[in-house]
Amino acid sequence: MTTAQLDCLGPTAWGPPCGSAVLKALPEHFCVTEVLDIAFSGQGEHLWLLIEKRNLNTEEVAKRLARVAGLKVRDVSYAGLKDRKAVTRQWFSLQLPGRADPDFSALWNSDLQCIDSRRHSRKLQRGAHSANHFVIHLTQLHADVGLLDARLQQIAARGVPNYFGPQRFGHAAGNVLDARSWAERGALPPARGTRSRLLSTARSLIFNRLLAQRVAAGTWDQVLAGDCLAFTNSRSQFSAERLASDDPRLAALDVHPTGPMWGAGEPPVAAEVAVLERQAADTEPALVAWLLAAEVEQARRILRLPITALTWHYPSPDSLVLEFTLPTGCFATVMLRELVTLTDEPGGGLESES
């Protein structure tokens, strides 16, 4: 991560890194599989493909599928972006009304394969997958194994701050610079994709600012007066007043305090939390005004990221393999930075998100 990218995050929760390691020495060292909980209809005008890709980004795969199928790229859908330098399995859908399945055989090679194909009555929506499963191999590890094991046990039991990762802010935080530039002009990018990306960047930066405040205060995984709470995989929210102080769901990492995805509307928080969120927003007044002018609807995001089914082992003294599952829209890199200082191999590219 560059210094500019790190400035868009905040302090770690569990102390200084236990050592250092290289991330993505090989694509096979970063494996991601989408977890999709959808009952396919078996028929319909949408062809869904489970694609395994290596050294390719999601948008490039979509373009190749569209070209062979004779479609416009907008007729190829996917649930989320996945890293280029990685081995990832993700779903794509193609709208093919009244058409048979195209012959994609010319596309498949050692870097691109089709694992499964299904017909369905609906297209794949962004964020439709329920989770992402990771297997990550860190190499050139220089760390105290005892400290690492203790840190990993702590993370498994209590989670990590749910920051937006450096991918959201672009190389050298370029997305932040672009968003501020548009905000200062009081204008929106004409291209829909650029507009969406930069508005998301602005909201993510303000969220990270609030979360950084609560990490520094040690309250990111605690319920404060006026908090708005949510379950891990649910969009429903409720007031902290409705949660009993001894509710076991908080300790079980089922319920979490939330932070603002800034936008129009009255925030569902009160008391000291409302003050904290206003303070975070006041660090970026131009971006806040820009988001309101764009009529972006406010939303909430959990402050604590539970790491599900976390396991680890050491194939050799200088390497560590981690396996775990994260909810959609969350970043493996924010968990890794709680462990070690990461170094990317040239071309490693934390350029996308899942």
Mind telling me the catalytic residues?
83
Residues 31, 351 contacting (CB under 8 angstroms): no
Q: Measuring CA to CA, which residue among 328, 183, 189, 205 is closest to residue 262?
A: 205
Residues 10, 211 contacting (CB under 8 angstroms): yes
Angle between helices 285-293 and 174-185 (to 10 degrees): 70
Residues 277, 258 contacting (CB under 8 angstroms): no
Other Cβ atoms less than 10 A from the Cβ of 109: the count is 8
Residues 298, 263 contacting (CB under 8 angstroms): yes
d(CA 296, CA 291): 6
Which one-letter amino acid corresponds to residue 318? D
Secondary structure class of 199 (helix, strand, coil):
helix
* DSSP designation for 99: -
CA-based end-to-end distance of the chain: 17
In this structure, are strands 341-344 and 19-23 parallel, antiparallel, or unpaired? parallel
CA angle 290, 171, 299 (to 5 degrees): 40
| b/e map 251-276, b = 16+ CB within 10 Å | eebebbbbbbbbbeeebbbeeebbeb
For the chain, what percentages of helix, strand and coil (3-state, to nearest 5) are there? Answer: 35, 30, 40
Q: Half-sphere exposure of residue 149, counting CA atoms within 13 Å on the CB side?
A: 5
Residues 102, 138 contacting (CB under 8 angstroms): no
Which one-letter amino acid corresponds to residue 215? V
